[in-house]
Amino acid sequence: MADIFEALKNDHKVAKDIMRVLENTEGASKERQENYPKLVRELLAHAKAEERTLYHAMLGSADSQDEATHSIKEHKEMEDAMKEVSDTEMSSSQWLPKFRELKELVEHHVKEEEQEIFEAAREVLSTSKQNELGAMYEKEKAVEDKKDRSDFLP
């Protein structure tokens, strides 16, 4: 079983791969219609599970509270950007620019998380806690994957 950092990195790769496909779509194409809902589900399930596992653990330590609070704020910004994209017709010329704004937010968050947040978490979490959080994350994400996300979809 993966520790929390491996699990999150694996999900980051999944999201990046979906975004790469979406960035090369046009209009209300089949690829866009199939992949955008996948991205929304992936990002929301990932964020909610991450908040209840890694960030929750980090909030318990004064040494990592600021990093966790910052990351949770970035999740909210990504949710707002997802709603903007979802509220835009896929056939609109505005869809791709709005999607690119979302993509930039996600890429910034992932880079910061993998380079800074993980380091802060490693300093306050034991190896056994990292493994425990990895298992908890997978369970939480599975629950989140099943939730209705229609309020975030076009």
Average pLDDT over residues 82-89: 96
* pLDDT tens digits along 25-40: 999 999 999 999 999 9
Res 150 pLDDT > 90: no
b/e string for 103-133 if b means 16 or more Cβ within 10 A?
A: bebbeebbeebeeebbebbeebbeeeebbbb
pLDDT at 17: 98
Average pLDDT over residues 56-81: 97
